[in-house]
Structure 1
Amino acid sequence: MIPCKAFFILGLLALPAGSPGEENAEKKKGIIGQSATFLLNTSEQFQKIYWVKEKQAIPIFVVAIPQKDPEERCELRDQILEYRGRLSVSEDCKMLQINNLSQEDSGIYHAQIRIAEDKNPIHEIFSLKVYKRLLEADLKIVCDQKDYRGGNGTLQLNCSAGLWEDDVKFSWAPASLSESTGRSLVTRHNLEGNDLNFTCIVENPVGTASKTVSFQKICSTGVVNNNGQDKG
């Protein structure tokens, strides 16, 4: 196994000047707990592939080596702990799959394809963004009371998705009874009048989740004041 120090040096050498940047990356989306696949486009015969993840303590996380015997599968060597047991590879080494994805797997991945010792390597680059398929339980709605006295003033609902707000879009329903800007909904609804239900809808690139609350219930028992302190 290659020592960590050697791994680090190889990582520094893996991305020479002129290698493709993030703007040229093939964009991939992944879902927490599922898999992401990187498929190489090169048609060249190669000796090995160094897989590199940017901004990682040990940049080269696995080396894929094709076998001389066509009946033998591609060999994966020197897998670092974070990826051990989670990687799959095709027989020809040109497809790498990361399984059981976590949020930490998001990032920029480079494949450094070694053709021969006397030739410059080929570089292919991928950008992976891992999302969670949101559930109602991931959403939180709180009420913010602003100068609300005796039925007068403004009440505001704020919606959030906790740690899962990458590339999310917020909307509210029904939209006709209030003013909404992203995660916030503002209304002058009187708490003493008829109750209304409002739904926060949160969409990310892999799905949509929603949560419905009673305006009267959440703003009379869970009001948050201007200092962010719960009065409920």
Structure 2
Amino acid sequence: MPFDEEVENIIWSSHKRLATVVSEKEGHPATIMVTDPRYDGRVSFLEPTYSLHIQNLSWEDSGSYQAQVNLRTSQVSTMQQYNLRVYQRLSQPHMTVKFEIPGEEGACNISLICSVENAGLDVTYTWISWEDGADTAHEGAILRAFWRPGDKAVSYTCRASNPVSNITSRPIQAGSFCADPGYPLEKASTSFCLLAKGLLILLLFGTLAVGFWFIRVQTRGKVLRMKKLKRDRMRLRRKGRPGPSLS
């Protein structure tokens, strides 16, 4: 930030006043007052221009910054605007596959969706399809394709990029998610096995519950009969008659 005239002070702001720098005067060093606690200990001002330097950046630091320059020989202030964008390295792309069968036997429409967790700003997505050793790029986070049994195997990878990094996903074959001859059979067999196991477990628990209930009822009935026989025997003894047997 070069100046042709002497600077009285510079006021840095971002949403609110961040810091004030009073330039050196008559041998006295410059005075710096940081007024926003979010920047305390993270900012410095590089002489002789007093440019703002921020350490330990985070996404919250992104945005517009203003420098109001007040000169000693003028009542007019000079305003300068800056826009700060903060980026971080991207994580592994996450791929989502959606498909629908429109009616043709075994064929389906496929939607491949690529995303990155906490992606931030200025992220671009590119789908790359591989067929017979040749690759084709498709811009955008969503790629739509059509597949039918007998089509050549096509692999897809997603590449996510921002100004500081780019990362590519593992390859997938979208046709595996559609209704080719082997895939639904294996899928159905697996589902049937899981369903059969679940029903068997439910049947076992149901049988055990009925058994415990039956034993409890039998035991309770026997106890009640024994108590009744004891009461009858006591009444008969009081009347001088022999009581009934407990067997």
- 1:65 paired with 2:28, answer no
Matched residue, 1:104: 60
The answer as to whether partners of 1:49 and 1:111 remain within 8 angstroms in 2 is yes
Matched residue, 2:100: 146
The one of 22, 39, 47 equivalent to 1:83 is: 39
Matched residue, 2:164: 206
Matched residue, 1:43: 4
RMSD (Å), alpha carbons:
3.1
Structure showing greater radius of gyration is 2
Matched residue, 2:221: none
- 1:128 paired with 2:104, answer no
Larger relative helix fraction: 2
CA distance in 1, matches of 2:49, 2:35: 15
Shift of 1:206: 2.5
The one of 187, 195, 201 equivalent to 2:145 is: 187
Letter aligned with residue 121 of structure 1: S
The one of 116, 139, 144 equivalent to 2:72 is: 116
The one of 104, 109, 115 equivalent to 1:160 is: 115
CA distance in 1, matches of 2:73, 2:3: 17
Shift of 1:82: 1.0
- Helix, strand or coil for the counterpart of 1:104? helix
CA distance in 2, matches of 1:87, 1:141: 40
Matched residue, 1:169: 124
CA distance in 2, matches of 1:148, 1:192: 17
Alpha carbons of structure 1 residues 76 and 112: separation in structure 2 relative to 1, 3 Å: same
The TM-score with structure 2 as length reference comes to 0.59
The TM-score with structure 1 as length reference comes to 0.63
The answer as to whether partners of 2:91 and 2:116 remain within 8 angstroms in 1 is no
Question: Which structure would you say has the larger RCO, counting Cα contacts within 8 Å and 6 or more residues apart?
Answer: 1
The answer as to whether partners of 2:127 and 2:159 remain within 8 angstroms in 1 is yes
- Helix, strand or coil for the counterpart of 2:85? strand
- Helix, strand or coil for the counterpart of 1:212? coil
What are structure 1's unaligned runs of at least 5 residues? 1-39, 221-232
The answer as to whether partners of 1:66 and 1:93 remain within 8 angstroms in 2 is no
Alpha carbons of structure 1 residues 140 and 109: separation in structure 2 relative to 1, 3 Å: same
- 1:146-192 Cα offsets, whole Å, 9 max, x none, are 22676311112100123325222221112667894511122234589
- Helix, strand or coil for the counterpart of 1:145? strand
Larger relative strand fraction: 1
The answer as to whether partners of 2:127 and 2:157 remain within 8 angstroms in 1 is yes
Alpha carbons of structure 1 residues 69 and 218: separation in structure 2 relative to 1, 3 Å: farther
CA distance in 2, matches of 1:70, 1:135: 51
Shift of 1:197: 3.3
Matched residue, 2:233: none
